[in-house]
Amino acid sequence: MKTACLFYLLLSLRCVCGETLLFVDDHEILYRSGTRRQMHVPKRHAGNPLVVGPTVKNQAGYNSVHRDPETGRFQMWYQLSGKDTAVCYAESADGIVWNKPELDVVAHPGITDRNVVLDSVEQYGASVVVDAPGGDPERRYKMAYWSIPHAVPEAEAGKDPRGKNGGMFVAFSADGIHWNKQPGPVLRGAYGRMSEPPKVGEEHDFGVHSSVSDVLDAMYDPLRKKYVVYAKAWIDAPDGMTYWKRAIVRTESDDFLKWSLPQLVMAPDEFDGVRPADYPGTRRGVQLHGAPAFLHHGVYFALVQVADFETHGLQPIELATSRDGIAWQRPFRSTPFMGTVENGNGFDASRIFSNATPVVLDDEMRFYYAGAENPWQFGRRENEWGSKKRMPKTGIGLAMLPLDRFAGVKPLEKLGQMTLKPRPLGGIKGLTLNADAGGGAVRVELLDERGYRLAGFSKADAVPITGDGLRHEVKWKRADLSKLPVPEMKVIIRIHLDNAEAFALTLRDL
């Protein structure tokens, strides 16, 4: 566990010697004057989709990607759904051109590709966590997935047979190819029809907001030293009936086998219920279909799958943030992080399935995702797909974001400034700013804890930062951080923006 913790902590601090402060929220900011925050959208690869199923009848869905930090080798696990459901495997040297190896590990008669590595009954998900070398080699690769392994007579108690034995299952592997399924489920699931909540003593029927459902996304949290799964769940309706709208729960584990009682952490609210405005307070409107999460520079990010099942049937991705992985904020609802195109015809025109495994490189972040051309089958295009005039496009695609540029702070007009919270700079050798000053300039000044300017570090003393760069060196004309009056003193960093945008500040200790 300690080895895994160190591995994932190093990944979260990749290419950084010191601490990076992201300006995606105001956690590090004391106040801002004359500024606004703008989310940035990743650019989709021109060659999308990079991976497709063997036939148009096999829709690609949930997926995970791992890049070995030593070799640079990419591995991908993706679900194929439809009449035949399985987890398939692909690999790549550069993350762009993917190979489907002929493995013949699992024989699946309905899938012609020979890269199937795991199949199950009514399976959903291919969420993989990879530990660092040094732990149990037979369990280095860990997968969480949903399955309903046993059929139940439909007449039994009038229940929906699909939900009776479903739940979260896990599997382990030494290489990511040969998987050993564990007995399960490790968490029982909720997947049924609307009814009154079960009574105490009827726990086998499960309260739907304290159990998982059929969308599961696993991660390792190096700050809490826990494996974590964010899963789809359900909240009850205004009249108290179950299975009203989809929401997100969180569960954690030390060993990937024994999991805590799922905790509700994200649910649709009144701002979701009024989209579109014709359906306030009803089941129609946005639901949270999934929220795969990852940790980057001390910030938890969730790529929330916001789905409107009963109107247009689209599912774009919304960016949410948290500082503890439990209390979440959704500040960017007006603009999708990865959008869909109603009435479009691309492979990702209607539904996007995000994952918890972005790949962080030196200068960019890669977000692999699955896309589907057809909407959820409740929308205005149901007749087109239902008539089977043609099968919808699907596949795995890639979107790229410049390093750490989830959101930037920029002036409302021409000038603005950010005043950061006081902090000691002892041991810090320099500051590096991720900023776009292509049409203006940025100046950084230092103040003491009371807000008085430090001699040699004022705005007038600052060397202007110009141009667009991920690692601008912060400099002053006649001083550097070694000239601070008292190295251990708390210092306020103020960033002056003149027609420029700042994304992150790195405090370098080397």
Instruction: Quick: pLDDT tens for 166-217.
Output: 899 999 999 999 999 999 899 988 876 777 777 777 655 455 677 899 999 9
11: pLDDT confidence band, cut at 50, 70 and 90? very low
Say how many residues make up the chain: 510
Q: Structure tokens of 260?
A: 């805590």
- 51 Cβ neighbours under 8 A, 6+ residues apart: 60, 76, 78, 90, 98, 100, 395, 396
Report the alpha-carbon distance of residue 309 to residue 342 in Å, rounded.
Answer: 13
Contact assessment for residue 385 and residue 377, using Cβ atoms and an 8 Å cutoff: yes
Average pLDDT over the chain, rounded to whole? Answer: 88
Report the alpha-carbon distance of residue 223 to residue 342 in Å, rounded.
Answer: 40
Peptide bond connecting 185 to the previous residue in cis, omega within 30 degrees of 0: yes
Q: Structure tokens of 67?
A: 């890049």
Q: Lowest mean pLDDT of 40-44, 99-103, 141-145, 180-184, name the range.
A: 180-184
| pLDDT at residue 329 greater than cutoff 80 | yes
Q: Percent of the chain scored above 70 by pLDDT?
A: 85
Q: Percent of the chain scored above 90 by pLDDT?
A: 66
259: pLDDT confidence band, cut at 50, 70 and 90? very high
Q: What is the mean pLDDT of residues 345-370?
A: 95
Q: What is the mean pLDDT of residues 403-413?
A: 98
> Dihedral, CA atoms, 74, 77, 82, 85, nearest 10 degrees?
150
What predicted TM-score, i.e. pTM, was given to this entire model? Answer: 0.92
Nearest 5°: CA angle at 166, between 165 and 172? Answer: 115
> Dihedral, CA atoms, 455, 458, 462, 465, nearest 10 degrees?
150
Cα Rg for the chain, rounded, in angstroms?
24
Report the alpha-carbon distance of residue 154 to residue 245 in Å, rounded.
Answer: 24
| pLDDT at residue 386 greater than cutoff 80 | no
- pLDDT for the residue 211: 86
Report the alpha-carbon distance of residue 303 to residue 317 in Å, rounded.
Answer: 6
Q: Structure tokens of 308?
A: 């409107």
Q: What is the mean pLDDT of residues 377-385?
A: 51
Pairwise pLDDT comparison (486 vs 381), residue with the higher score: 486
